């Protein structure tokens, strides 16, 4: 064990002998809880060598700590922290009582951002794929192969734009599955969709610029746009998705955030006339459209809709996708497809902010896609999730006097309308009943706050869906 002992530390008494300084710092490590009962200390010879002092000096420090009861020394075994050496409470270093003041930008971030505060797997938490159904053994094999074949190269700094074989796999995949028209040079691999939206907001918006986003909409986008100092302009949403007619005609918008395949949170797909209208608006006003295609791979009906980007002839759409829903959230891999010069500019900025994404996982993801495993995994997940969606809708049937599920053709969750009194009252009791009901009314930006919940189903086994819906039914009756 290498111990951090600094004999010249300013808090060590100048006049104190070397052995007192060593003993004092070891004592502080024990009282601070950093060297816990039973930990083995380095041999005196080893520590003396590390500190550049005589062995007798360390020997004297250990003997002193032993006499004070902090150390137990056993011949032939070594020196151990005694069970009597319990950390001081409160600890030596006191946490700051008042949080340090933040910048205006920092404070703006904290008004919209939040820390995840509930276990992901509780019913009906939204946005969760079923990780038990993921082919972990296959992933592990591919991982071992990648390490064997490219280990040292993958351990180095990587291309900030993303590992080339992964960018190739993504561009082929997006062309086949989502109709996206791109080359690997237009793809940038990132940690998350959130990082993509944040990069776009940082690079494309000046403080005070207007940015339009769906209302209700994705809080992550709202956080990124408001942190960039944008003036947020709500876009009304109905059964055809985001309505371009709800934006003032003369509003000069620099950026428009849309979820065309599966409006977050209400779930509708953007209709073709509206797709064309948004593209025309972007063309005429020079605005950028961010297309967040966060779960567009999970379309359960026969005629699957391609991405909005497939219709873009003017290079105004920035397409964003994530492996959080199609592979695993913990991978922290997402991608954006950028028109023209933007790909290079975003790559340089990304490099400036945080370098690049983990190379090894990019290599495994590339193999997974190129060998066809992604296609079959998604095919299986679509089947599994569709059946779970059907079961949840069926289980909610008996409560159709109070709950109204909305569009459920796509995604890992659907939205459900409930009367306003029930939205709040049931939500207040949901945690105790082991349920997560994300409130739709909290996702609004403008004046209207239409009530309802997001109902995640993809990660829930059939029995869990039945039991959880029964519990929800009890709450609905109790609060109704």
Ligand X SMILES: Cc1ncc(COP(=O)(O)O)c(C=O)c1O
Summarize as ranges the residues that interact with ligand X (CB under 6 A).
127, 192-194, 218, 220, 259, 264, 292, 294, 322, 324, 329, 334
Alpha-carbon distance 416 to 294, whole Å? 20
Residue closer to ligand X (CB basis): 70 or 323: 323
Could you identify the residue written with the tokens 């007798």? 56
Q: Can you tell me which residue has the tokens 């004297």?
A: 60
Minimum distance, C-beta of residue 216 to ligand X, in the bound complex (Å): 11
Question: How far apart are the C-alpha atoms of 302 and 305, rounded to whole Å?
Answer: 9
Q: What's the Cα-to-Cα distance from 408 to each of 292, 387, 420, 440, rounded to whole Å?
A: 18, 12, 21, 15
Q: Considering beta carbons, is residue 70 or 173 the nearer one to ligand X?
A: 173
Give me the least distance between CB of 329 and ligand X, in Å please: 6
Closest to ligand X by CB, 214 vs 423, is 214
CB of 192 to ligand X, least distance (A): 3
To ligand X, the closest distance from the beta carbon of 295 in angstroms equals 7
User: Minimum Å distance from CB 333 to ligand X?
Assistant: 8
Say if residues 89 and 59 touch (Cβ distance below 8 Å): no
Burial of 225 (0-12, 13-18, 19+ CB in 10 A): buried
Q: Which residue has the tokens 């993509």?
A: 196
Nearer to ligand X, 334 or 440 (CB): 334
State how far the Cα of 338 lies from the Cα of 344, in Å rounded to an integer.
9
Give the nearest distance from C-beta 393 to ligand X in angstroms.
21
**Shortest spacing between CB 458 and ligand X, in angstroms:** 12
Distance CA 258, CA 235 (A): 9
Q: Cα–Cα distance between 358 and 191 in angstroms, integer? A: 9
Q: How far is the CB of 332 from ligand X (least distance, A)?
A: 8
Distance separating alpha carbons of residues 183 and 75, to the nearest angstrom: 68
Q: Min. distance of Cβ 392 from ligand X in angstroms?
A: 18
The CA distance from 360 to 152, in Å, is 10
Q: Compute the least distance from the CB of residue 369 to ligand X, in Å.
A: 17
> 218 or 385: whose CB is closer to ligand X?
218
User: Looking at beta carbons only, is 24 or 321 nearer to ligand X?
Assistant: 321
Phi, psi angles (nearest 5°) of residue 37:
-50, 130
The CB-of-200 to ligand X minimum distance in angstroms stands at: 13
Burial 226-264 (b: 16+ CB within 10 A, else e): bbbbbbbbbbebeeebbbbebbeeeeebbbbbbbbbbbb
Residues 6+ apart with CB under 8 A from 388: 457, 458, 460, 462, 465
Q: Which is nearer to ligand X, 12 or 259 (CB)?
A: 259
**Are 179 and 224 within 8 A, CB to CB?**
no
CB closer to ligand X out of 12 and 192 = 192
Closer to ligand X by CB, 41 or 204: give it: 204
- Nearer residue to ligand X within complex by CB, 218 or 346: 218
Q: How far apart are CA 100 and CA 106, in angstroms?
A: 11
Q: In the chain, helix, strand, coil percent, each to 5? A: 45, 15, 40
| Residue closer to ligand X (CB basis): 184 or 456 | 456
Task: Give the residue with the Cβ less far from ligand X, 258 or 475.
Answer: 258
Give min distance, CB of 17 to ligand X, in A: 56
Contacts with 203 (C-beta within 8 Å, 6 or more apart), sequence order:
345, 346, 349
Residue closest to 257 by CA, chosen among 300, 284, 293, 227: 293
């Amino acid at each position: 064990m290498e111990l951090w002992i600094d004999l010249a530390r300013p808090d060590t008494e100048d006049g104190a002998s070397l052995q007192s300084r060593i003993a004092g710092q070891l004592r502080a490590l024990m009282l601070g809880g950093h060297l816990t009962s039973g930990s083995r200390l380095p041999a005196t010879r080893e520590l003396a060598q590390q500190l550049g002092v005589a062995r007798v000096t360390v020997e004297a420090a250990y003997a002193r700590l032993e006499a004070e009861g902090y150390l137990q020394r056993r011949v032939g075994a070594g020196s151990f922290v005694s069970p009597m050496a319990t950390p001081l409470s409160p600890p030596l270093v006191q946490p700051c009582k008042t949080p340090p003041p933040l910048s205006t930008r920092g404070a703006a971030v904290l008004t919209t951002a939040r820390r995840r505060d509930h276990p992901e797997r509780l019913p009906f938490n939204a946005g969760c794929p079923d990780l038990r159904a993921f082919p972990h053994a296959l992933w592990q094999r591919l991982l071992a192969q990648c390490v064997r074949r490219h280990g040292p190269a993958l351990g180095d700094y990587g291309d900030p734009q993303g590992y080339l074989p992964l960018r190739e796999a993504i561009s082929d995949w997006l062309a086949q599955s989502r109709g996206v028209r791109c080359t690997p040079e237009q793809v940038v691999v990132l940690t998350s969709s959130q990082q993509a939206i944040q990069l776009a907001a940082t690079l494309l918006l000046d403080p005070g610029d207007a940015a339009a986003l769906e209302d209700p909409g994705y809080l992550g986008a709202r956080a990124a746009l408001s942190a960039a100092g944008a003036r947020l302009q709500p876009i009304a949403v109905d059964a055809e998705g985001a309505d371009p007619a709800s934006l003032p005609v003369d509003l000069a918008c620099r950026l428009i955030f849309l979820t065309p395949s599966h409006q977050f949170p209400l779930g509708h797909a953007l209709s073709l006339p509206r797709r064309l209208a948004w593209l025309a608006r972007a063309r005429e006003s020079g605005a950028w459209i961010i297309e967040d295609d966060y779960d567009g791979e999970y379309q359960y009906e026969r005629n699957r809709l391609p991405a909005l980007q497939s219709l873009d002839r003017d290079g105004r759409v920035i397409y964003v996708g994530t492996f959080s829903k199609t592979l695993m959230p913990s991978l922290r891999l997402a991608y954006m497809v950028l028109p023209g010069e933007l790909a290079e500019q975003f790559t340089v900025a990304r490099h400036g902010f945080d370098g690049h994404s983990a190379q090894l996982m990019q290599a495994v993801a590339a193999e997974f896609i190129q060998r066809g495993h992604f296609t079959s995994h998604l095919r299986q997940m679509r089947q599994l999730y569709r059946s779970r969606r059907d079961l949840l809708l069926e289980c909610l049937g008996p409560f159709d006097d109070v709950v109204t599920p909305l569009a459920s053709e796509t995604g890992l969750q659907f939205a459900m309308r409930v009367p306003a009194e029930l939205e709040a009252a049931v939500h207040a009791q949901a945690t105790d009943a082991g349920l997560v009901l994300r409130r739709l009314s909290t996702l609004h930006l403008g004046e209207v706050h239409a009530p309802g919940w997001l109902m995640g189903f993809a990660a829930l086994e059939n029995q869990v869906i039945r039991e959880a819906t029964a519990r929800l039914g009890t709450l609905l009756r109790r609060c109704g």
